[in-house]
Every structure is written in structure tokens, then in C-alpha cells.
């Protein structure tokens, strides 16, 4: 198992540009989430999905879109990048099968918006 | 509002000494509690969880945590710290109940520094 993979690892964007952060998991997990990590603020939930075709907003969804067309993939789209979106982005997945509950995190994408 | 607090930004301990990283929570319903560790430039790794049962749970790398319902706390502990334990630690809570989608609420993180 590769677990949760994210691409790219690093990205620099100019204000107003758009891009997609990729996330994939090979564990057949139902739940997938996107978080952003900023110093002193922990991880904040952007969007999440409870299964293919179902997504919902988290704590800080503005400026981001998601879709979940397959169980494996959960891309995060920045529509028009802003400096406030400079952050480290983590994708995570989990399953409730077997009463495990813990989330598995990808290695992160470090995004800088200038 | 549901929240998780880690009152210390940084904890410093000497190698070989016991360590404690504090976490308190405020949720409605029965909490599921988690500890994660993040090493530099890495994603978060699961350490341990409390779902139900014994209040003292054991996890990876010799860590353990004690669930205290009356004090709404879930402090992370280790009897003898290693330099390699130096990292950023996150406490998280999930509320279990009907209609719940299993979202986690994270604390702001505590940096653990273990000095030789």
C-alpha cells in the first residue's frame, strides 16, 4: 500500500492563478479530507467527503473546490490563488470499518502564493 | 462550541525524564480522542486513540495517554523521553453520534523538545 499520496510537494503560485492539488489513497477508505496547517493554528478542515459523489464544506472552505468522482481520488482546486492561501495542505483518509477511526495523512503540499 | 486546547506551545524535557503533553477538550456527546505526531517536513502520524474502555491507552513508540472525563483531559505521557521524540504533537477529538460525519477538531499543537 502506498497509503495517502499527494502531489506536488511544493508549489509557488502568483496571485490569481489557479491550480489543483492532487490526493489519492489506495486503502479503499470512505472518508477523505483536506486540511490546511498554519503556524499556531493547528489543522483546519477545508472540505471533506464521506464517499464518491458526496462532498461537504469544513471550517475554512472559501476559495477552494473539491470533487470526489472515485473512491481513490480527492483533488483540491484553488480557483484564484491569494496570499492568504499560503500554507501547508494535508490530505487525509480514514475508514470506520473495524472500528479503527484514525486518519491517515499524506506527506503534504507546501504552497506559496506571491 | 466544540474545541480542543493544548495549553503549552512548547514542552522542554531532558532525555530520560518523563514527559507530559497536555490536552483538554470541550465537546457535546462522547468524545473519541486521538494523538498525532508530526516530524519536520512530514505528514501527521497516528500515535494512539481513546474510543471507550480503559482510561489509560497505550500507543506507538512507548507513548500512553490518560482519558479523564471529569477533567475533560487527555494528556500524552511517556515515562522516559528520547531525543528522537522531539516533534510537534497534536491532540484531536471526534464526536460520535447520529448524523456525525467523523470530522476531527485539532488542537493548535505542542512542540516537544527533548535535550540530551
Cα torsion through B115, B19, B91, A33, rounded to 10: 50
Would you say residue A40 has pLDDT above 90? no
d(CA B49, CA B80): 20
Residue B96: burial class (beta carbons within 10 Å; 0-12, 13-18, 19+)? middle
Q: Where are the domains of chain B?
A: 3-115
Helices (H), A24-107: none
What is the mean predicted confidence (pLDDT) over A73-102? 91
Give the pLDDT confidence score for residue B98 in this predicted structure: 41
Q: What is the mean pLDDT of residues A80-108?
A: 90
Residue A101 in this model has a pLDDT that exceeds 80: no
Q: What's the pLDDT score for residue B95?
A: 65
Q: What is the CATH T-level fold of the domain B3-115, as seen in this structure?
A: Immunoglobulin-like (2.60.40)
pLDDT tops 90 at residue A42: no
Q: Specify the range with the lowest mean pLDDT, choosing from B9-23, B24-38, B74-88, B100-114.
A: B100-114
Q: Which residues of A touch B (CB under 8 A)?
A: 4, 31, 33, 35, 40-45, 48, 50, 56, 58, 90, 92, 94, 96, 99, 101-108
Strand B110-115 versus strand B10-14 pairing type: parallel
Q: Mean pLDDT, chain B, as a whole number?
A: 91
Amino acid at each position: 500500500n502506498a497509503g495517502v499520496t499527494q502531489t506536488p510537494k511544493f508549489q509557488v503560485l502568483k496571485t490569481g492563478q489557479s491550480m489543483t492539488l492532487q490526493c489519492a489513497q489506495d486503502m479503499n477508505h470512505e472518508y477523505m479530507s483536506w486540511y490546511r496547517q498554519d503556524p499556531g493554528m493547528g489543522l483546519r478542515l477545508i472540505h471533506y467527503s464521506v464517499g464518491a459523489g458526496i462532498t461537504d464544506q469544513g471550517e475554512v472552505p472559501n476559495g477552494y473546490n473539491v470533487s470526489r468522482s472515485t473512491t481513490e481520488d480527492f483533488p483540491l482546486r484553488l480557483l484564484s490563488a491569494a496570499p492568504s492561501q499560503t500554507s501547508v495542505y494535508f490530505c487525509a483518509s480514514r475508514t470506520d470499518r473495524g472500528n479503527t477511526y484514525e486518519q491517515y495523512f499524506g506527506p503534504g503540499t507546501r504552497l506559496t502564493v506571491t | 462550541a466544540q474545541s480542543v486546547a493544548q495549553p503549552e506551545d512548547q514542552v522542554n524535557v531532558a532525555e530520560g525524564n518523563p514527559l507530559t503533553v497536555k490536552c483538554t477538550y470541550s465537546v457535546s456527546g462522547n468524545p473519541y480522542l486521538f494523538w498525532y505526531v508530526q516530524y519536520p517536513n512530514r505528514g501527521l502520524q497516528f500515535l494512539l486513540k481513546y474510543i471507550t474502555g480503559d482510561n489509560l491507552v497505550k500507543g506507538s513508540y512507548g507513548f500512553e495517554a490518560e482519558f479523564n472525563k471529569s477533567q475533560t483531559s487527555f494528556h500524552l505521557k511517556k515515562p522516559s523521553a528520547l531525543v528522537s521524540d522531539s516533534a510537534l504533537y497534536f491532540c484531536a477529538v471526534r464526536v460520535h453520534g447520529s448524523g456525525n460525519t467523523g470530522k476531527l477538531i485539532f488542537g493548535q499543537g505542542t512542540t516537544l523538545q527533548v535535550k540530551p
